[in-house]
């Protein structure tokens, strides 16, 4: 498996070197966790979450090799979207090999995070930061990354209260009442980010739950339409509500699911029915989804054992972006309407 992953990184290095004027986004496979790397034309870098902490450093090795293949030796920003094992639990290990400069999070865990998770995932993350800069953000804050506008739309269980430019439209899919869900982790606290690069807009809400989704897009959609939506919560149906996805009207979605985690058929139904959606990309074939999975060309890891293939997005300032499956070099380019 190690050889297969090195081959994937070699492919990236040889044929997908960052162009001077593109935003490059690497969606790393952490088998049902999350790790996304961004590289701007100005050379600024960001790591969003870092997958699982494991004895064999599986996700650490994958992230480090992808980053180094892209020429990254430091992360200008490291985002801990929330304090769960598959998101922030591995940040300290990655940081020990590729250091971060500024750390972004939502501050103290929300009340639902249990003591064991706090000591296992939150406290090691804070300890790793040491005396470096920490930004504990709130909705409406902007992360000052060169060449890229990143607006915090959710954090700490709250959402923005005023529409962003391009938002404010009534949501025709809004339910009559706010959903309820009992969270056992820090999911509802997820830092949700809107990325804007020229005419391109991407929304990533981490593991945000439906009650906070409601606050964000109901009764009015405060975000507006997006080009790319990073499917929330690995494709679980407790997130990705119809009233959220259909209000966003994404052209393309990418799902960071594992073979046995996420990718639920109900979520795929919501995505496929979304107005204007062109394609669904998945990191893994979902065992639960059966025939509802995306076509094989759009799945980075269609069978087990996992080959750790990733999905790359290359974005131009005019809004044109290309999504590539590194398993088979299949790509598709999307243009603004």
Structural domain includes residue 335: no
Structural domain includes residue 325: no
Q: What is the per-residue pLDDT across 114-135, written as a single tens digit (0 to 9) for each?
A: 888 888 899 999 999 999 999 9
Q: What is the per-residue pLDDT across 289-310, written as a single tens digit (0 to 9) for each?
A: 999 999 999 999 999 999 999 9
Structural domain includes residue 31: yes
In sequence order, which residues have a C-beta less than 8 Å from that of residue 254 and are 6 or more positions away?
A: 27, 228, 229, 230, 231, 281, 282, 283, 311, 313, 323
Residue 97's domain comprises 2-316
Structural domain includes residue 321: no
Structural domain includes residue 39: yes
Structural domain includes residue 55: yes
Structural domain includes residue 294: yes
CATH number assigned to the domain comprising residue 175: 3.60.15.10
The three-class DSSP label of residue 62 is helix
Q: Are 256 and 283 in contact (CB under 8 A)?
A: yes
State the total domains in the chain.
1
Can you tell me the mean pLDDT for 247-260? 98
Q: What is the pLDDT of residue 20?
A: 62
Q: What is the pLDDT of residue 115?
A: 85
Can you tell me the mean pLDDT for 36-50? 97
Mean pLDDT rounded to a whole number for the chain = 93
Ranges 108-117, 140-149, 199-208, 241-250: which has the least confidence: 108-117
Structural domain includes residue 252: yes
Q: Residue for token digits 């990705």?
A: 240
> What are 62's two structure tokens?
């994958």
Q: How confident is the model at residue 5 (pLDDT cuts 50, 70, 90)?
A: low
Residue 17 has pLDDT above 50, yes or no: no
Structure pTM? 0.93
């Amino acid at each position: 498996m190690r050889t297969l992953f090195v081959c994937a990184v070699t492919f990236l290095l040889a044929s997908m070197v960052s162009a001077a004027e593109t935003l490059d986004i690497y969606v790393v496979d952490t088998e049902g966790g999350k790790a996304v790397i961004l590289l701007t034309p100005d050379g600024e870098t960001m790591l969003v979450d870092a997958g699982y902490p494991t004895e064999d450093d599986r996700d650490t090795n994958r992230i480090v090799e992808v980053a180094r293949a892209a020429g990254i030796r430091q992360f200008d920003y490291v985002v801990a979207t929330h304090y769960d094992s598959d998101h922030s639990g591995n940040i300290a290990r990655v940081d020990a090999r590729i250091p971060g400069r500024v750390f972004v999070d939502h501050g103290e865990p929300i009340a639902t995070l249990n003591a064991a998770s706090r000591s296992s995932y939150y406290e090691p993350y804070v300890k790793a930061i040491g005396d470096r800069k920490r930004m504990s953000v709130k909705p409406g804050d902007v992360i000052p990354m060169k060449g890229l506008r990143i607006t915090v739309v959710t954090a700490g269980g709250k959402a923005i209260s005023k529409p962003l430019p391009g938002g404010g439209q009534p949501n025709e899919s809004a339910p009559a009442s706010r959903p309820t869900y009992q969270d056992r982790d820090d999911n509802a606290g997820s830092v949700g980010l809107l990325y804007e690069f020229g005419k391109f807009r991407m929304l990533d809400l981490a593991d945000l739950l439906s009650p906070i989704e409601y606050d964000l897009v109901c009764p009015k959609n405060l975000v507006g339409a997006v080009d790319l939506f990073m499917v929330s919560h690995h494709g679980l149906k407790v997130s990705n509500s119809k009233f959220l996805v259909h209000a966003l009207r994404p052209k393309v979605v990418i799902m960071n699911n594992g073979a046995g985690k996420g990718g639920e058929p109900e979520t795929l139904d919501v995505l496929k029915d979304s107005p204007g959606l062109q394609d669904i990309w998945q990191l893994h074939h979902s065992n639960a989804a059966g025939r509802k999975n995306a076509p094989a060309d759009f799945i980075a890891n269609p069978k087990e054992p996992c080959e750790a293939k990733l999905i790359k997005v290359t974005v131009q300032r005019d809004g044109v972006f290309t999504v590539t499956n590194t398993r088979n070099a299949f790509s598709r380019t999307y243009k603004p309407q």
